[in-house]
């Protein structure tokens, strides 16, 4: 795949950030905020599922130590494509993963009922933080795909 900046010598996130420092700093700040406000395991499941859906193999290969500390297991990561039927995922995870998929595939298709179910499962403030994280995760992963660079460490919620 030809990447947008192949001819410009851009090979890393830091190289790309030099082209638009304020924009890249804002993207990194958004990532930090999402991880600080949300449930690390739910966020990591969503981040990984987004990576699967859009073909961001580099982003999917990386794993958050913060999420591991919150209960994410290797088995859950391995079984993520089977989340609707896997016994490794509870109702809370299934509702959030369903919202994640709908967000990526067709954000306009998200229903009031779907959001209400997530609010019932995790609370209104956590749902707001989760949806904000979906936007931030998808945005950063797509930028990395287009530019052909790996996501920064802040994308995992881990210290840089």
Q: What is the predicted pLDDT for the residue at 150?
A: 83
User: Measured between alpha carbons, how far is 40 from 38 in angstroms, rounded to an integer?
Assistant: 6
Tokens linked to 149:
């660079």
Low-confidence ranges of the chain (pLDDT < 50): 2, 4
CB atoms within 10 A of CB 147: 20
User: Measured between alpha carbons, how far is 130 from 137 in angstroms, rounded to an integer?
Assistant: 10
Instruction: Please report whether residue 5 resides in a domain.
Output: no
Instruction: Please report whether residue 46 resides in a domain.
Output: yes
Q: Which of 37, 47, 57, 58 is nearest to 138 (CA)?
A: 47
User: From the centroid of its chain, how far is CA 4?
Assistant: 22
- The helix, strand and coil proportions of the chain, stated in percent and rounded to the nearest 5, come to 70, 0, 30
Instruction: Please report whether residue 72 resides in a domain.
Output: yes
CATH number where 62 lies: 1.20.1290.10
Reported pTM = 0.88
For the stretch 10-56, pLDDT in tens is 678 888 888 888 988 888 888 888 888 889 999 999 999 999 999 98
Residue 134 in 3-state DSSP? helix
User: Measured between alpha carbons, how far is 20 from 98 in angstroms, rounded to an integer?
Assistant: 34
Instruction: Please report whether residue 15 resides in a domain.
Output: no
Instruction: Please report whether residue 71 resides in a domain.
Output: yes
Instruction: Please report whether residue 9 resides in a domain.
Output: no
Angle at 43 between CA 73 and CA 33, to 5 degrees: 135
Task: Let me know: does 129 contact 42? Beta carbons within 8 Å.
Answer: no
Task: Let me know: does 148 contact 58? Beta carbons within 8 Å.
Answer: no
Q: What is the predicted pLDDT for the residue at 158?
A: 66
Instruction: Please report whether residue 1 resides in a domain.
Output: no
Q: Which are the contacts of 143, defined by CB distance < 8 A and separation ≥ 6?
A: 27
Instruction: Please report whether residue 6 resides in a domain.
Output: no
Q: What is the predicted pLDDT for the residue at 62?
A: 75
Domain count, the chain: 1
Domain carrying residue 78: 24-152
Q: Which of 140, 137, 156 is nearest to 65 (CA)?
A: 156
Q: What is the predicted pLDDT for the residue at 3?
A: 52
């Amino acid at each position: 795949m030809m990447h947008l900046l192949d001819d410009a010598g851009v090979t890393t996130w830091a190289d790309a950030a030099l082209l638009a420092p304020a924009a890249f700093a804002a993207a990194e700040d958004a990532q930090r905020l999402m991880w600080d406000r949300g449930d690390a395991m739910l966020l990591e499941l969503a981040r990984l599922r987004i990576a699967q859906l859009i073909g961001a193999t580099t982003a999917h290969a990386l794993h958050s130590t913060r999420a591991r500390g919150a209960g994410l297991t290797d088995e859950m990561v391995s079984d993520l494509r089977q989340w609707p039927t896997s016994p490794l995922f509870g109702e809370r995870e299934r509702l959030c993963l369903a919202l994640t998929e709908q967000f990526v595939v067709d954000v306009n298709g998200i229903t009031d009922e779907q959001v209400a179910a997530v609010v019932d499962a995790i609370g209104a403030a956590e749902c707001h933080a989760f949806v904000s994280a979906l936007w931030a995760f998808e945005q950063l992963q797509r930028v990395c795909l287009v530019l052909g660079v790996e996501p920064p460490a802040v994308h995992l919620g881990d210290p840089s």
